[in-house]
């Protein structure tokens, strides 16, 4: 299968490496030193399942390609508008577009850019991968699962990952999956921002468990007010899931903040805070966490 990955950060590079290892014809949209090293030495992938070297092709833009069966969008959320023309170009040449972005707005934004709705699928990636240096990515933790919405696009995704170690599931209502992931990512980010940038600092405080439940509740209350049929047991399930993260864990927003890079906080905590205001749902923890991260971004230049 011909597969394009738009966004060669940690997640995009890891997915591209796994699909290349499975024998697909993979092209990464990559630039700079990362592209140069992949083209000269290959992409080094480090993970709990074993290290390997992949050799995907690279281009500077999807506009250079004449289509593929699948195009995965794996940029940061704030880059969607910049790369949308590449995805419109690929979709017009037969590509199904699968968004693996954080947040809950990607499908709507891609449709607004001009991609037919039947060619777009939301995907939810439950895996953590970081780009350690140009040409090197590492998958953290053991989980690696992708949930996609039901429809014709999902069949292509199932086919792509059939011979890989990544598990793919098809959801009847992918909006529930998107919001439940927001209820994992946003509270982790908010709690780590309020704490000392890791989960252990929150757990050691006597108010930590209560704040964790409150942060989860803010996200799910906004989602339910928005009309998403989030199950009533989701609050408890997600609270248990967050309890399983190790004390030294911190999410990608905090990783980017620590590295002096732009974060996705505006599309995560910021989205919850804005939607909460529109829907009349209080979100004080997300207000505070968003303010802390964005002020720290400004301070770091």
| Cβ neighbours around 207 below 10 Å, total | 9
- Alpha-carbon dihedral sign for residues 273, 130, 196, 244: positive
With pLDDT > 90 as the criterion, what percentage of the chain qualifies?
A: 85
Q: How confident is the model at residue 295 (pLDDT cuts 50, 70, 90)?
A: very high
Whole-number Å distance between alpha carbons of 84 and 97: 11
Q: pLDDT at position 128, please?
A: 84
Q: pLDDT at position 195, please?
A: 86
pLDDT of 77 > 80? The answer is: yes
Q: pLDDT at position 138, please?
A: 94
pLDDT digit string, tens, across residues 223-280: 999 999 999 999 999 999 999 988 988 888 998 898 898 999 999 999 999 999 999 9
Q: pLDDT at position 145, please?
A: 94
Whole-number Å distance between alpha carbons of 30 and 56: 11
Contact assessment for residue 45 and residue 53, using Cβ atoms and an 8 Å cutoff: yes
Residues in Cβ contact with 299 at an 8 Å cutoff, skipping those fewer than 6 apart: none
pTM score, whole prediction? 0.91
pLDDT of 152 > 90? The answer is: no
Domains in the chain and their CATH numbers?
A: 2-171 (3.40.50.720), 175-300 (1.10.1040.10)
Q: How confident is the model at residue 83 (pLDDT cuts 50, 70, 90)?
A: very high
Rounded (to 5) percent helix, strand, coil in the chain: 50, 20, 30
Q: pLDDT at position 278, please?
A: 98
Q: Is 297 helix (H, G, I), strand (E, B) or coil?
A: helix
| Cβ neighbours around 90 below 10 Å, total | 25
Contact assessment for residue 44 and residue 20, using Cβ atoms and an 8 Å cutoff: no
pLDDT digit string, tens, across residues 6-43: 999 999 999 999 999 999 999 999 999 999 999 999 99
Q: pLDDT at position 205, please?
A: 94
Please give the C-alpha separations between residue 43 and each of 5, 37, 39, 249, in angstroms, as whole numbers: 14, 8, 8, 25
pLDDT of 142 > 90? The answer is: no
Contact assessment for residue 150 and residue 172, using Cβ atoms and an 8 Å cutoff: yes
Q: pLDDT at position 67, please?
A: 85
pLDDT of 150 > 90? The answer is: no
Q: pLDDT at position 211, please?
A: 96
With pLDDT > 70 as the criterion, what percentage of the chain qualifies?
A: 100
Q: 144 φ, ψ to 5°?
A: -160, 100
Structure token digits, residue 36: 């140069």
Q: pLDDT at position 127, please?
A: 87
Residues in Cβ contact with 291 at an 8 Å cutoff, skipping those fewer than 6 apart: none
- What single DSSP character describes residue 42? -
Taking phi first (over 0 means left), then psi (-120 to 50 degrees means alpha), and beta for anything else, what does residue 260 get? left
Q: pLDDT at position 49, please?
A: 83
CA angle 165, 12, 167 (to 5 degrees): 25
């Amino acid at each position: 299968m011909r597969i394009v990955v738009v966004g060669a950060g940690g997640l995009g590079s890891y997915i591209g490496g796994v699909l290349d290892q499975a024998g697909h014809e993979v092209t990464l949209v990559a630039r700079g030193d990362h592209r140069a090293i992949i083209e000269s030495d290959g992409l080094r992938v480090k993970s709990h399942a074993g290290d390997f070297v992949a050799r995907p092709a690279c281009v500077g833009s999807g506009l250079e390609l004449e289509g593929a069966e699948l195009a995965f969008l794996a940029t940061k959320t704030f880059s969607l508008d910049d790369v949308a023309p590449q995805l419109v170009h690929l979709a017009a040449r037969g590509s199904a577009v699968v968004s693996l972005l954080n947040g809950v707005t990607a499908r709507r934004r891609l449709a607004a850019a001009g991609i037919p709705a039947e060619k777009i699928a939301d995907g939810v990636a439950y895996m953590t991968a970081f780009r350690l240096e140009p040409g090197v990515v590492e998958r953290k933790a053991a989980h690696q699962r992708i949930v996609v919405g039901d429809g014709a696009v999902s069949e292509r995704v199932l086919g792509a990952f059939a011979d890989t170690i990544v598990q793919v599931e098809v959801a009847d209502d992918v909006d529930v999956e998107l919001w439940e992931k927001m209820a994992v990512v946003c509270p982790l980010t908010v709690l780590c921002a309020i704490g000392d940038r890791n989960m252990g600092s929150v757990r050691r405080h006597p108010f930590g468990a209560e704040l964790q439940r409150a942060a989860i509740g803010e996200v799910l209350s906004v989602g339910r007010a928005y009309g998403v049929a989030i199950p009533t047991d989701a609050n408890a399930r997600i609270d248990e899931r967050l309890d399983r993260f190790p004390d030294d864990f911190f999410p990608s927003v905090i990783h980017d903040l620590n590295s002096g890079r732009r974060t996705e906080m505006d599309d995560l905590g910021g989205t919850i805070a804005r939607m909460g205001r529109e829907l009349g749902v209080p979100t004080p923890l997300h207000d505070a966490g968003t303010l802390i991260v964005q002020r720290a971004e400004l301070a770091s230049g």
